[in-house]
Amino acid sequence: MTTATAEIAAPAARRWSAALRPAEWQLVLPLALAYAAFFLVPLVLLILVSFFDDEKITTMGGAQWTKFLGDRFTWKVIADTLKLGVFTVAATSLIGVPVALVYLGASARWQGVILFVVILPLLTSVVVRTFAWIVILGREGVINQTVLWLGLSPAPLRLLQTEHGLVIALTQIEMPLLLLPLLSVMSRMDPNLRDASSALGASKWRTLFRVTLPLSLPGLVAGCMLVFASSTTAFISQLVIGGNRLVYLPLLIWQQSLVVYNWPLASAAALTLLVSVGLGVAAIAAVGRRGHAWALR
């Protein structure tokens, strides 16, 4: 009797297990749920909160937005934040691209060394790196001692709490974000392409500008996007090196949310940061596409 039941039950069980086997789209559910819970929900909350007029979050309205965007100081902060991103992207690219080219031409052993040096900053905490930069950039820091010793300037340079100093520090801090995608694209490039170019009579420079760089462009664009997004939102470095004199959007958000406790205004500032960084990244992507079209011309 038991065997008979089992025989009847078996196809049913099979049908059940088939029904329980997840379809492929269901496999993405855990990630999608985590995404919804930790990204979409907070974002929606952020948008909602920004539309309250008072700090106690009781009456809805657009007063905070009008106040925030109507303030000329806000626009200066937005501009400074974007400028910081642009400068950091420019500085990391100017140093990173030659480094990547050196990497490309190096022997396997040296490539390992370069890669290690590139990754090294990622292995230390941002806080530690930032404080190290204070030691380097300070009045009695390494840079100033060198400058004075070389007689390049009569008095120590002011580097801490200046935009220059911050860009210098961010350049080192964000460098891995530029180099990793760039190196990965470059080292996947067929070395025969460069040989083919020179066999066709192209000089080193022609090969660089017509073959190597255009083909590395996707990596460079990806790296620039990461550096831009990361440097404009680098709260700790901005605060520790820039101090209170340099105000960027992250600092504004922190002041409004945790010092003044004006959450609607903080939310408006946070959304502004999100949008402006998003626009900046989109602009880099557009420039990248232009560059690609130019290389293809």
Partner 1 sequence: MTGTRGHTLDIVAVTHRYGAVTAVADVSLAVRAGEIVALLGPSGCGKTTLLRVVAGFVRPQAGSVRIDGAAIDGLPANLRNVGIVFQNYALFPHMTVAQNVAYGLEARGRPRAEVRRTVETFLDVVRLGDFRDRLPRQLSGGQQQRVALARALAVEPTVLLLDEPFNALDKGLRLDMQIEIKRLQRQFGLTAILVTHDQDEAMSVADRIAVMNHGRVEQFDTPVNVYDRPATLFVSGFVGTTNLLRGRALEAKNGCAVVTLDAGARLTVRTERAFTAGVPVVLSARPEQLCLYTAPAPERWSVTRRLSVPLGPNTMHDLETRDGATLKLIEPRHAYGVDAKEEVWCGLRPEAEPGLFDASSI
State the residues that interact with partner 1 by CB under 8 A.
190, 192-193, 195-204, 206, 210-211, 214-215, 292, 295-296
Residues 93, 222: Cα–Cα separation, whole Å: 11
Tell the smallest beta-carbon distance from residue 110 to partner 1 (Å). 15
Tell the smallest beta-carbon distance from residue 211 to partner 1 (Å). 6
107: left (phi over 0), alpha (psi -120 to 50) or beta: beta
The encoded tokens of residue 297 equal 């011309």
Tell the smallest beta-carbon distance from residue 203 to partner 1 (Å). 6
Return the number of the residue (187 or 233) whose C-beta is nearest partner 1: 187
Return the number of the residue (76 or 206) whose C-beta is nearest partner 1: 206
Residues 171, 255: Cα–Cα separation, whole Å: 26
Return the number of the residue (71 or 195) whose C-beta is nearest partner 1: 195
Nearest to 101 by CA among 242, 207, 197: 207
Return the number of the residue (5 or 192) whose C-beta is nearest partner 1: 192
Tell the smallest beta-carbon distance from residue 196 to partner 1 (Å). 4
15, 16, 21, 23, 131 from 11: Cα distances, Å: 6, 9, 15, 20, 67
Tell the smallest beta-carbon distance from residue 114 to partner 1 (Å). 21
The total of other beta-carbon atoms located within 10 Å of residue 147's CB is 17
Contact 176, 94 (CB under 8 A): no
Return the number of the residue (153 or 203) whose C-beta is nearest partner 1: 203
Tell the smallest beta-carbon distance from residue 180 to partner 1 (Å). 22
Return the number of the residue (76 or 210) whose C-beta is nearest partner 1: 210
